[in-house]
Amino acid sequence: MKKHKVILFNYTALIALSAVAFACGSKETKAETEHSAEQKKDRIELVRDDVAKKVDVIIDGKFFTSYIYPDSLEKPVLYPINTANENAITRGWPLTPRAGERVDHPHHLGLWFNYGDVNGLDFWNNSSDIKDKTNYGHIVHKSIVSAKSGNEEGVLKVSLDWVNSKGEVLLTENTTFIFRGNDDQRSIDRIATLTAPNGEVKLTDNKEGMLGLRTARQLEHPSNKPEIFTDASGQATDVPTMNNEGITGLYLSSEGIKGDDVWGTRGAWVSLSGKIDNEDISVAILDYPSNPGYPTYWHARGYGLFSANPLGQKALSDGKDELNFKLDKGQSATFKYRIIIYSNETILDGQVNRDYIEWAK
């Protein structure tokens, strides 16, 4: 008769061995999970902070800009805005003053979108300096519709109301911001749809509009006019003569117009080139063919206001053109702009033209 070998299991040892194996497996799984999460981390991050009323945009670990909407501002803005090398292209004053800055026009802050005559109300010039708001309008942030990070782009969608001093809504605004970037470039697409929900809205020709950017001091054009600047502590000070050291800005339009002569002309795009902390920088604003008033007039000043104004035709053409744009009740209009920030090189018109053709497809 064949004998069978009896095998006795040491269950205590087996359980201990299994526990060790499970622990090792858990460690490996945790490490793999952390590695996987690191691999999946989006290049372009949108970070919401509802308490601080802002959304930060981070590209490759570097701060790019913030969408901010505190109650103290008369409109939401993108502020500050940095290059790929983290130099700010926007003026700091009045929120975070830097030495040597101008302290004019407190409503010029970061990148914004509004207008100087909306049913007779001035949205453009409104700021905390204005005490009687009767003749002014302001833009109220209503909600963040979505904020999506991604490897190729980050997309922020917001809902806004353009209201009078009584809080009555003249226009609703639904805007999409698309943020992109690489080692040498940053870009913002700002696509705004304005709707007149409660009645006719007239945007009468006015020089104060519409997509505005207030640039850092270094990107201004050199000037010999006396001005008011901030000192090192951020206090306003009179400067009888201008110090143009490090002031290097120069406008160039799609029509080949340069410098201050860009103001009051039309063009599909304008670039502003200069240098900040030895970084060659060019900032271009691109119009879009389907925009009202295309090609836009440029309300671009050497002191740092860089603005595309498609609706202020009479004011900017010395009366040669006139638009008097309006929206009937329930009617909408969409305004699309791309802002490109080039780093480490002075961009020539050929490069901007190529980027414009790609944008305008």
Express each pLDDT in 242-282 by its tens digit.
Answer: 789 999 999 999 999 999 999 999 999 999 999 999 999 99
Distance from C-alpha of 18 to C-alpha of 106, rounded to nearest angstrom: 69
Judged by DSSP in three states, 3 sits in coil
Residues 307-319: tens digit of each pLDDT: 999 999 999 999 9
Distance from C-alpha of 94 to C-alpha of 129, rounded to nearest angstrom: 11
pLDDT confidence of residue 349: 72
DSSP string, 58-93: EETTEEEEEEE--TTSSS-EEEEEB-TT--B-B--T
Indicate if the alpha-carbon torsion angle 191, 121, 77, 87 is positive or negative.
positive
Distance from C-alpha of 361 to C-alpha of 357, rounded to nearest angstrom: 6
Candidates 164, 228, 206, 241; CA nearest to 325 is 206
- Where do the H-state alpha helices sit in the chain? 11-40, 313-316, 349-359
| Two structure tokens written together for 132 | 């009687």
Q: Where are the domains of the chain?
A: 44-359
Neighbour-count burial of 277, counting CB atoms closer than 10 A to its CB (0-12 exposed, 13-18 middle, 19+ buried): exposed
Distance from C-alpha of 99 to C-alpha of 94, rounded to nearest angstrom: 12
Residue 29: phi and psi, rounded to 5, are -65, -40
Fold of 44-359: Beta-galactosidase; Chain A, domain 5 (2.70.98)
Indicate if the alpha-carbon torsion angle 20, 26, 29, 34 is positive or negative.
negative
Residue indicated by tokens 């010029």: 108
Residues 109-148: tens digit of each pLDDT: 999 999 999 999 999 999 999 999 999 999 999 999 999 9
Residues 66-114: tens digit of each pLDDT: 999 999 999 999 999 999 999 999 999 999 999 999 999 999 999 999 9
What is the pLDDT averaged over residues 154-180? Answer: 99
Candidates 86, 353, 317; CA nearest to 206 is 317
Order across the sheet with 305-309: list the strands.
44-49, 54-59, 62-68, 77-81, 111-115, 209-214, 305-309, 297-298
3-state SS, 207-242, equals: CCEEEEEEECHHHCCCCCCCEEEECCCCCEEEECCC
Is the link from the previous residue into 70 a cis peptide, with omega within 30 of 0? no
pLDDT confidence of residue 34: 47
Model pTM? 0.87
Q: Contact 249/302 with Cβ under 8 angstroms?
A: yes
**Burial readout 33-51 (b: 16 or more C-beta within 10 A, e: otherwise):** eeeeeeeeeebbbbeeeee
Type of residue at 355: D
Least confident residue range of 8-22, 235-249, 275-289: 8-22
Q: Contact 61/84 with Cβ under 8 angstroms?
A: no
Distance from C-alpha of 47 to C-alpha of 44, rounded to nearest angstrom: 10
Q: Contact 190/113 with Cβ under 8 angstroms?
A: yes
